Amino acid sequence: MKIFVTGGAGYIGSHVVKLLGQKGHEIAVFDNLSTGHEWAVLYGSLIKGDLADKPRVVDAIRTFGPDGVIHFAASIQVEESMREPLMYYRNNVINTINLLDAMVEGNVPYLIYSSTAATYGMPDKPLIDEQTPLEPINPYGASKVMIERVLRDLSFARSDFRYVALRYFNVAGADSECRIGQAYKEATHLITRALKVAKGEFPKLTVYGTDYPTPDGTCVRDYIHVDDLALAHLKALEYIVETKRSDTMNCGYGHGFSVREVIEVAKKVTGVDFPVEDGPRRAGDPPALTADSGKLKSLTGWTPRHDNLEFIVKTAWEWERKQS
């Protein structure tokens, strides 16, 4: 297939591009390189462009003529979204609608959409399935809910448009061959931040909140290896082509680890007893998010291979050491 990948030079997008390329798909990556990197695009061609430039998007899709689109390009930091909500609605909502307009104009029938567990907000049950009410508590999650609604409405209106929205939980780790990994200018994800503290790039790691209603008082998250998430995209693509059905699916392992548990594993893997301090809660952080991914497994046959926190941290650490 010919697949158009927005944000394919970024962390998750580049791992999906790698897998698509290994499977023989033809790929065009559309990325403004604001957080992505040209070196991370291991397969296909790179088109430098911004989704805010609608004529550029329309032209790129018309020229490439894709069979489907995988859409990663978005702003994704919860804390930043609380400070800059208009930026999040502009980038995540308006720019996605620009992409959808281009898809409709170019008669592109399939979309795999990068959504998030932040759509659920603060659910009152430990294991979250897709029927859990969508009650986001930050603009990031709200922007993703808005586009899920747009996709649902567009799918109802047009019989030639189908989508799968994948709600990610916490993505971590790196390519096991150490060719690509997380390379944000300002690391905010817990595992990456902890490893950078172990390397000496930051003086200490701050634990944001120790009074949550969890076993040790710190936030609990479901960490999924980026290669397993990439496989979920491939399986979702195969599903949508075969069934011609729109759907929404969670992506996670079904169990979580607290911030303190992640820190202990990071110290074990690195062999560094790096400094950690307790701090106040951050706005917009729910206490616990753990995925019920039974739907993804049953409908697509997705079988994760790297459900091991130590392996996740180990691959991320090998990648961090390579960047030294």
Which positions are annotated as active-site residues? Answer: 140
Give the span between the Cα atoms of 101 and 188, in whole angstroms. 32
- The encoded tokens of residue 206 equal 């701050």
Q: Is residue 20 classed as helix, strand or coil in its secondary structure? A: helix
Give the span between the Cα atoms of 93 and 113, in whole angstroms. 12
Category of 33 on φ-ψ map: left (φ > 0), alpha (ψ -120 to 50) or beta: left
Q: Kindly report the length of the chain.
A: 324
- The encoded tokens of residue 10 equal 């970024």
Closest CA to 75 of 64, 65, 87: 87
C-alpha distances in angstroms, 162 versus 72, 159, 165, 236? 17, 8, 10, 11
Cβ-in-10-Å burial (0-12, 13-18, 19+) of 150 comes to middle
Strand stretches in the chain, DSSP E:
2-6, 26-31, 45-48, 68-71, 110-116, 162-168, 170-172, 205-208, 220-221, 223-225, 247-251, 257-258, 276-279, 288-289
Contact at 8 Å (CB) between 114 and 136? Answer: no
Give the span between the Cα atoms of 181 and 324, in whole angstroms. 13
Pairing relationship of beta strands 170-172 and 257-258 according to DSSP bridges: unpaired
Closest CA to 96 of 44, 148, 45: 148
Give the span between the Cα atoms of 175 and 181, in whole angstroms. 6
